[in-house]
Chain A
Amino acid sequence: MGEIAVAKETGAQPGAVEVDFRAIDDLIFTRFNGDKENIIMILQALNKEYNWLPEPVLNYVSTRLDIPLSQMYGVATFYSMFSLEPRGRHLICLCTGTACHVRGGQIIKERLEAHLGIKPGKTTEDMRFTFETVRCIGCCSIGPVAKIDEKVYSRTNSAAILKALEGYT
């Protein structure tokens, strides 16, 4: 799961983010009782807050919870929802689960790749979209499905998704 590539990826503009260390403190100690076992949930909250996990954030959490940075990287790279690179303003999440796959999900994927000019897991240069694939969001009966930010598009096709993208700036 790509652990080796991490060091390089986290080099992405570390100085560009503003980190509110006090808020991180509150999160760790008030919401999660300063319990190391909650590290995954803490990172989930931070990933949501920042839209990715900037290096200073990881560093800080590592020090405060006394978890070696290497172990934190292990966790942050093992679980696919964490991003060690900045992500775009909108998240396109295309389901490539089996039910969506047999209903043409693959074709939507190819057309999205061509349209956005990026592969899944990547962000467009203008930071407008991050394109990710997910293996099932539990809407298999109304597939193929894609999620743009929080909205689910069901029984969709490539033309409809490309059209929908226009609404996200």
Chain B
Amino acid sequence: MKIRSKDDLDKIRSKVHDSLYSPPCLKINVGMATCGIATGAQDTYNKALEIFEKEGVSVAKTGCMGFCEQEPLVDILAPGKPRIVYRHVTEDKIQEVVESYQKGEYPKKSILGQMKDPRSVLEDDIENPLRGAVPINGIPFLEEIPFFSKQLKIALRNCGYIDPDNIEEYIGRGGYFSLFRCLNEMEPEETIASIKESGLRGRGGAGFPTGIKWEACRKAEGEKRYVMCNADEGDPGAYMDRSVLEGDPYSVLEGMVIGAYAIGSNDGFIYVRHEYPLAVVRLVETIKQAEAYGLLGSNILGTGFDFNIKISTGAGAFVCGESTALMRSLEGKVGRPRAKYIRSVEKGYRDSPSTLNNVETWANVPPIISKGAQWYASLGTEKSKGTKVFSLVGKVRNTGLVEVAMGASLRTIIFDIGGGIPRKREFKAVQTGGPSGGCIPEDYLDTPVDYEHLAKLGAIMGSGGMIVMDRDTCMVDLARYFLEFLQEESCGQCVPCREGIKRLLEILTDICAGKGKEGDIELLEALSDTVVKTSLCALGGTAPNPVLSTLKYFRNEYEAHIYDKKCPAGVCKELFYYEIDEEKCNGCHICFLRCPQKAISGEKKKPHTIDQEKCIKCSICYQSCKVDAIAIR
């Protein structure tokens, strides 16, 4: 069926309303993004099908709700009953969970929360489908548990709520009304003006104003224009793009068609990294369905506008996330960046005007058109509007994807939403912005998170990775880690980056190996300065950030390595040893059992000791000791 009118959209929307919100009988939604599947969601799904499908229960897959720590997540709804999200529902638990729900019993320990209102930001024109349901006493509302209560979901609006392979469910959540409006009621210039006014900035790292980019591309001379989506997501520790592509790919597609219309392009690409096979599979299905419904391809919505999208997969090169390298890679070439004085909006892919935006940027476009630029601009801070998705990972209790209005403080994100550090440890630093970013210490936890404030701290927003660290991370080793990454990923065409990073890495490797010497810190600073100033692209230009920011906030750790030959975090193996604190050791024997080297001796209930000759510093004892008796010396 080809959609031609608003009526067609409305019909689909009311048709799927019931299957989305009030199914005729019980419905089980299993969160099946890569993260869910990795924790066993596929088995849960299969089991649910096997046991319950014959009873008329419908079993569906959705994307990820974001609370990855609690996966596999299963969301159960039935007519007239509360809607409940269960956590850690592995294959062996699904039967019990569903049967208890059917009986009206709600075991607290497997429940994450009951839903209060499942509508997305685009659905305030319908009534809350759960308004009639009687809430269960003693079970928190999902929207009120700390992980969700401070979030505002725009880019992630549908993740976890729809079947990503079903275009009708996307429409059911208010999707494609924006595209309809653009193509039928708005001039391309008006669309651009709206995106400009919203204040939307690129979510891929640099934060360039999206509307301005589109305008420049529209005005650039050229016969053909190209529109692209950057789904290369190379920043290790960030996975919001994967989640959007796997949980709500249509939002990206709709955004791209709107962008293409505004810019005047008929051909587009989505460049996805090959490490995301599921995202590719879902995108292919998405494109097929969108074409079948007349929402992509030729004569979109019957308006005569054509736009085609091709998927291209990256082949494992971080630098190909950089815009000019990405375009070369699309041309089948080696992905080496190009100097910035030639702008991609004028001469990009095949030397034609090209617009590249990040996945999350595209996903923000439809809501801006639907709800208006003013609405979007009312969220966030003065210069950073709207929301941003962060991947909250590392040493934090509630790991997952969180979307907050710009300007939320680091403390809100890490402690309120994230629940703080596990095992009652102390927060040490948070790393934002990936390999181009920096580490922020405790003193700055109240900083509002937006492009400007993070830059001021020597970090960057980047694509939104937030890696929380406790005392077990050595800051010198972390800087070394990032440089090692960047050394491998530098395309090698310019000397400051290729050689500079290598030298920086050598110095840091020496420091971590106990061979640091006086003057190293100063040399690191001087070299960094050169690399920043003279590299061709932003990979080299930002490469020293991890070094500079750790030097700024954790200089004492560098000094401990260089002058005292000690690694206070117990990471750099040459610079520490483990010792059992006799006062604290209660002789529980667990380290004895776990040590792969049999280096630990001692009788139960008596203090143990470590044989330094045998110890390989694998940290297993340190991690497993319940009373913190393993000391770093």
A54 at interface (Cβ–Cβ under 8 A)?
no
Q: Are B334 and A137 in contact (CB under 8 A)?
A: no
B334 x A78 contact (CB < 8 A): yes
Chain A residues, Cβ within 8 Å of B332: 36-40, 75
B82 contacts partner chain A, Cβ-Cβ < 8 Å = no
B233's nearest neighbour on chain A, judged by CB, is A138
Q: Check if B431 sits within 8 Å of A98, measured CB to CB.
A: yes
Bound CA span A159–B395, Å:
21
| Across-interface contacts of A37 in B (CB, < 8 A) | 330-332
Chain B residues, CB < 8 A from A101: 236, 481
CA distance A100 to B329 in the complex (A): 28
**Contact between chains at A145 and B618 (CB < 8 Å):** no
Say which residue of A81, A102, A153, A158 sits within 8 Å of B274 (CB atoms).
Answer: A81
Contacts of A38 in B (CB 8 A): 332
What CA separation (Å) do A153 and B39 show in the bound complex?
8
Q: Are A138 and B317 in contact (CB under 8 A)?
A: no
Name the B residues within 8 Å of A78 (CB-CB): 317, 334-335, 491
Q: How far is the CA of A82 from the CA of B274 in the complex (A)?
A: 11
Residues of A1-60 whose CB lies within 8 A of B: 1, 36-41, 43-44
B residues in contact (CB < 8 Å) with A = 34-35, 37-39, 68-69, 71, 233-239, 242-243, 274-276, 312-318, 329-335, 391-395, 399-401, 431, 434, 465, 467, 469, 472-473, 478, 481-482, 485, 488, 491-492, 596, 618-619, 623
Interface readout for A99-119 with B: 1 if CB under 8 Å, 0 if not? 111111001001100000000
**Residue contact B318 to A135, C-beta cutoff 8 Å:** yes
B residues near A152, Cβ cutoff 8 Å:
34, 37-38
Question: Are B38 and A139 in contact, CB atoms less than 8 angstroms apart?
Answer: yes
Q: Which residues in B have their C-beta under 8 angstroms from that of A43?
A: 315
User: Is A44 a contact partner of B315 (Cβ separation < 8 A)?
Assistant: yes
B315 touches A154 (CB 8 A): no
A99 and B331 contact, Cβ closer than 8 Å, known pairs A138-B276, A141-B68: no
Say whether B618 contacts A81, CB under 8 Å: no
Interface string of A70-91 (1 = CB under 8 A from B): 0000110011111000000000
Interface check A148, CB cutoff 8 A: no
Query: Once the chains bind, are B399 and A141 in contact (CB under 8 Å)?
Result: yes
* Residue of A whose beta carbon sits closest to that of B329: A40
A140 contacts B395, C-beta separation under 8 Å = no
A31 to B314, CA, bound (A): 18
Q: How far is the CA of A101 from the CA of B313 in the complex (A)?
A: 26
With a cutoff of 8 Å between Cβ atoms, the chain B residues found around residue A36 in the complex are 332
Contact indicator A79/B316 (Cβ below 8 Å): yes
Is residue A165 within 8 Å, beta carbon to beta carbon, of the partner chain?
no
B619 (CB) vs chain A CBs: closest residue: A107
Shortest beta-carbon distance, B72 to chain A, in Å? 11
Assuming A80-B315, A97-B237, A140-B237, is B38 touching A102 (CB within 8 A)?
no
* 10 contacting pairs across A/B (C-beta < 8 A): A40-B332, A80-B317, A81-B315, A98-B465, A136-B234, A140-B238, A140-B393, A141-B35, A141-B68, A158-B596
> Is the pair A111, B316 in contact by a Cβ cutoff of 8 Å?
no
Look across to chain B and name the residue whose beta carbon is closest to the beta carbon of A134: B275
B473 and A102 contact, CB distance less than 8 A: yes
Q: How far is the CB of A119 from chain B (nearest CB, A)?
A: 14
> Which residues from chain A contact B313 at a C-beta distance below 8 Å?
40-41, 44
Residues of chain A lying within 8 A (CB to CB) of residue B482: 98
Q: Chain B residues near A39: list those with CB within 8 A.
A: 332
Would you list the 3 A-B pairs with minimal beta carbon distance, nearest first? A97-B236, A79-B315, A141-B68
B485 to A135, Cβ gap below 8 A?
A: yes
Q: Shortest Cβ distance from B163 into chain A, in angstroms?
A: 20
- A sample of 16 more A-B contacts (CB under 8 A), given A36-B332, A44-B315, A141-B68, is A1-B488, A39-B332, A79-B317, A95-B236, A98-B431, A98-B434, A98-B467, A99-B391, A100-B236, A102-B472, A136-B237, A138-B35, A138-B239, A141-B393, A142-B399, A158-B618
